[in-house]
Structure formats: C-alpha cells, structure tokens
Amino acid sequence: MMGESAGRVVLIAGPTASGKSALALSMAQSLDGVIVNTDAMQIYDTLCIVTARPSTDEVAQVPHRLYGTVPATTRYSTGRWLEAVRGVMEADAGRPLIFVGGTGLYFDALTNGFAEIPEIPAAVALEVQQEIQALDADGRRKMLEAVDPVAASRLKVVDPQRLIRALAVQRVTGRTLSSFQDTPQAGLLDEISVERMVLEVDRDVLRDRIARRFEKMFESGAVEEVEALLALSPDLRVPAMKAIGVPEISAWLSGTLSADDAIGQAITATHQYAKRQRTWFRNRMGDWPRLDPLAS
C-alpha cells in the first residue's frame, strides 16, 4: 500500500455533517494512512459525541491523531495545534496523512503559515475584557484605531473578542497584533505535494443530516457528556463551553429550556455554523476542488 502513496498529504475540508470523517476513514484504509484532526472543537476531551468525533470503532480501524488530546476546561490556540501537527508529521513521517475537519483557520495556517503570536496570560485577557465591557461597537472601533489602526482597517466589525486580543497582544508584547500578522510566514506543507478538497453537499440534504445527527446525539450520550463537562466547573469563557449543543443542553439541564427547544436551538445553531463554514471556504479556499461525497 505504501509505494506511491508514501508521504502523501490529503486535505479534506467541509461544513459540519458533510461526510468528511467517513471519506477520510475510507481513504486512510485504502492508503494505509493516518487521519489528523483539523477541527478546533474535536481537539478537546470530554465532548466526543457533542463534537462528532470519530467513534471508538473508527479509531480502532486506522490511526487517528489529535482527537480529544486537550482538557475541555482549557483554551487551545491555532499556534499550539500547528506545533502538535509538526510532531505528528515527524512521528508519522513517510505515511500518508489525511487532514480532515471544518476549521478553516487550521487549514489556512497549515497551508499558508500562521503568525507566531506569544501566548496571552488569561489574567491580562480578563483585565482587558473588564476594561472594554461598557463600550459599544463605535467605542470598540475607536479604541482599536487608537492602538492598532492597521488591524482596525481590516475589520468590518470590531467585536469584543477581536478587540480584547489586539489590546492584550499590544500590552504583553509592546507590538501591535497587525505587525505579527504581517510577518512573512511559511506553511508546514510548502515543499510537499498536497491533494486538497472541499466537500459541498446539497443544502437540503445537509439540513436533514444535521437535524438527524443532533437528535441522535441527544439520545446517545450528549447529555451525559455535558453533565460531565459541567461537573468540572469550567470557566464559562473556554471554547468547549461554547461548542454547539453545550449551551442548549445546559439550559435544558437547568430547566430553562424544554428538551424539544434545546434540540431545536442546537440544530438551528448548527445550520448557522455550517453557513459560516461554507462562506469561509468560498472566500478563502475558492480554488480548492469541490466534491459531493453523498451524491449518487
């Protein structure tokens, strides 16, 4: 199996519920390859069902890397993911690597490089958050323009998270966020032959798959996963607490939503997320070949 496929790299991007994992598994089996997680939520432990990570049976069939390796109570950056990918590429050198997921920023960093911005202490981010919490949209833009006019010029909307990041980076490093972003970077795959694809599925088909998948999640362990996460008393601002399904199931557990409403809101949130993913792939990965793995 190795032969011509040795060292091959395949990138499979696509919106949630589009069949990415099934395609990656099939390819990994045929190539004797390794599947590498390229999804920002599937990196966390505790939430296997909620984040639609590969099942235990799937993981047993071919090697899977970077799934559930980070505590759900912590934050994880794109830079740290890239460092982990470097480790995978060294450990699995010579084997086909199949990167699969729905996080466009991960694919962008992998192929185009990523600004190495120093880690921001949580205390600094919290301090900045408290300072800006009373600002409206106009106030946030004016503050960013004063600190980093280049970054401000690139944003249609200066949301709180972007402002917090820009201010915290400047406070910790003495440099603007845009100066880091404008430093020339190299992707990890610059000298490797790469096969790229974005999965595109009929929207009605995708909507149906999203609905059926979350209903199944709710019945097959998603609730217990959210209970386990809440039992860890995580900071409400960590990414895992914002994973689709966690806020909705949490609200049901607390009695503020019915089960039907929790499921309905989670399905709606997933539809909205899939739309944002498609927009990213269209704008940032428009030259990648498209494939519908569900087409008959």
Instruction: Pick out the residues of the known binding site for ATP.
Output: 14-21
**Topology of domain 122-181, per CATH?**
Histone, subunit A (1.10.20)
Q: Is the pLDDT of residue 3 over 70?
A: no
For residue 99, give the 3-state DSSP assignment. strand
**Topology of domain 3-115+186-198, per CATH?**
Rossmann fold (3.40.50)
Range of weakest confidence among 36-45, 105-114, 281-290: 105-114
CA distance 257 to 262: 6
Residue position matching structure tokens 């084997």: 95
Instruction: Pick out the residues of the known binding site.
Output: 14-21
Instruction: Pick out the residues of the known binding site for substrate.
Output: 16-21
CATH architecture of 202-272: Orthogonal Bundle (1.10)
The phi and psi torsions of 106 (rounded to 5 degrees) equal: -65, -45
- Give 4's pLDDT tier (boundaries 50, 70, 90): very low
The residues spanned by each domain of the chain are 3-115+186-198, 122-181, 202-272
Q: pLDDT tens-digit profile of 116-140?
A: 788 888 889 889 999 999 999 999 9
Kindly tell me the sign of the dihedral angle through the C-alpha atoms of 216, 217, 223, 228.
positive
Q: pLDDT tens-digit profile of 84-101?
A: 999 999 999 989 999 999
